[in-house]
Structure 1
Amino acid sequence: MPKVEIFETRDGSHSLLLPEMNETYHSTHGAVTESLYVFIDKGLKHLLKEQPALKEVNILEVGFGTGLNAWLTAVEAANLGIKVNFVTLEKFPLEKEIWSQLNYAQSESDQKLFKSVHEAKWNSMEKVSQNFSIQKLETDIFEFKPEDMSFDLVYFDAFAPSKQPEMWQPEVLEKMYNALKKSGVFVTYCAQGQFKRDFKSAGFVAEELEGPPGKKEMTRGKK
């Protein structure tokens, strides 16, 4: 695991700095604010608004990172009364000494759920609550084979194209398109020009949405 440093973002929630890449795991304007806006509001809630009969949602996340998106999704699944099967990819899992210091969960029940998400075994589907099961795969998008499962929603939370350009290549976007069910949704914080062109070329119907605090735009797509 590369060296990381914990820091506080503008909304008071923690993120991580990866010094060797000079890259942060979340927006410095607010880690929780960004994740709630991009992945929960514009992703999960949008999907359920578009498909109100959906009671079980399969989600693929590219970039488990601090576990923030997974935990927020687990909380929201309970709030909405839906079942979520969450598959997430992470090549370099964080050590417990790092994730246990993160300040996302404020209540005792939320802290217990956050811990359960992180302590779930790797490489197998684990039920961590009545509404939420997670399969954490210690791999990257290039080795991942999504053929065994099709997804309703993709959270694409890789590092920025300027830092990790290989993650945003056309073949990766095509892989994400093929992993989605018909009318499935893809969301990411990114709105970089070349990415958007490749995204549309992969077959997605793209939307340019207002971004979270500190970002002008974000991208959502539909299969």
Structure 2
Amino acid sequence: MKRKIITTSDGSKTIQIEDWNEQYHSIHGAIQEANHVFIKHGLLFYYQSCHPELVSGSNSISILEIGFGTGLNAFLAYLKAEELQQPINYVGVEAYPVKSEEIKQLNYVELISENNNAEFNKIHSIPWEEAQKISPSFTLEKQEKFFKDITDENKFDIIYFDAFGARVQPELWTEDIFSIMYKALKDNGVLVTYSAKGSVRRAMQAVGFTVERLPGPPGKREMLRATKHSANAES
């Protein structure tokens, strides 16, 4: 399918799949969306609200990203790990890795943190299927596989669900996929996504998640955050 680099409303670039009229990030701002959905309502929510003991930095946070794509979410998580001095173990799953010539055309480092150009490049240059330290606070493993083939259980604190939209890939937003996500999360873990579709919310609830609607990023009214409550938690 034909692909091209486009500039979103906050000046950051993303990849557009022209045949689908679908982008890797919001056209209203790639960086703004990533920070709002995945950092603010995912990582920082978990870090500050769910598990305040993590503030000491003594325990690591495990993140699974569904749709590693351009590496923007991983880069922002790396920067937050450095800022907070909070160890993060990050796994990014991607069935179709982005080509290096496309990565070179993205301007995330220029807009976010030019001092971390080496780390952004390392995120993309490390081999797949191997856990590698990007810094003392951030370990990354990129896995090339389909989301349906994830078999982890009770492993992750946070899931960034950043798949292409249900309009073009409805098979990625089903009860079957969210059941896999539910199993992969630890008790009290959270899943965040930019989507707010009713069918997505109902699929999450059907497999056991407690789901809340939150204000969306620029250009989108709402987003969803789903929590896997402990089996022995009070109802």
Same fold (TM over 0.5): yes
**Greater Cα offset, 15-24 or 163-172:** 15-24
2:205 is matched with 200
One-letter amino acid of the structure 2 residue matched with residue 134 of structure 1: L
Q: Tell me, in whole angstroms, the C-alpha distance in 1 between the residues paired with 2:150 and 2:204.
A: 19
Q: Tell me, in whole angstroms, the C-alpha distance in 1 between the residues paired with 2:11 and 2:88.
A: 28
Q: Tell me, in whole angstroms, the C-alpha distance in 2 between the residues paired with 1:201 and 1:110.
A: 41
2:134 is matched with 128
1:91 is matched with 95
2:179 is matched with 174
Does 2:42 correspond to 1:36?
no
Consecutive unaligned residues in structure 1, runs of 5 or more: none
- Counterpart secondary structure, 2:41: helix
How big is the shift at 1:213? 0.5
- Counterpart secondary structure, 2:168: coil
One-letter amino acid of the structure 2 residue matched with residue 71 of structure 1: F
How big is the shift at 1:89? 0.7
Aligned Cα RMSD in Å?
Answer: 1.1
How big is the shift at 1:20? 2.4
1:116 is matched with 122
Pairs aligned (count) = 221
**Greater Cα offset, 43-52 or 138-147:** 138-147
Q: Tell me, in whole angstroms, the C-alpha distance in 1 between the residues paired with 2:159 and 2:221.
A: 21
How big is the shift at 1:19? 1.4
User: Deviation digits for residues 21-69 of structure 1, max 9, x if unmatched?
Assistant: 2211111110000000000000000001120112310000000111000
- Counterpart secondary structure, 2:190: strand
- Counterpart secondary structure, 1:113: helix
How big is the shift at 1:129? 1.0
User: Deviation digits for residues 161-212 of structure 1, max 9, x if unmatched?
Assistant: 1110000110110110111111001100001011111111111111100100
Q: Tell me, in whole angstroms, the C-alpha distance in 2 between the residues paired with 1:184 and 1:209.
A: 17
One-letter amino acid of the structure 1 residue matched with residue 90 of structure 2: F
- Counterpart secondary structure, 1:159: coil
Q: Tell me, in whole angstroms, the C-alpha distance in 1 between the residues paired with 2:17 and 2:92.
A: 20
Pick aligned residue for 1:56 from 27, 41, 60:
60
1:146 is matched with 152
- Counterpart secondary structure, 2:180: helix
One-letter amino acid of the structure 1 residue matched with residue 104 of structure 2: S
In the alignment, is the contact (CA less than 8 A) between 2:151 and 2:184 conserved in 1? no
User: Deviation digits for residues 120-156 of structure 1, max 9, x if unmatched?
Assistant: 1101111111111111011111122214x60000000
One-letter amino acid of the structure 2 residue matched with residue 131 of structure 1: S
Q: Tell me, in whole angstroms, the C-alpha distance in 2 between the residues paired with 1:108 and 1:162.
A: 35
Q: Tell me, in whole angstroms, the C-alpha distance in 2 between the residues paired with 1:136 and 1:21.
A: 25
Pick aligned residue for 2:170 from 155, 165, 170:
165
Consecutive unaligned residues in structure 2, runs of 5 or more: 229-235
One-letter amino acid of the structure 2 residue matched with residue 154 of structure 1: I
Q: Tell me, in whole angstroms, the C-alpha distance in 2 between the residues paired with 1:117 and 1:3.
A: 25
Runs of 4 or more above 4 Å deviation: none
1:21 is matched with 20
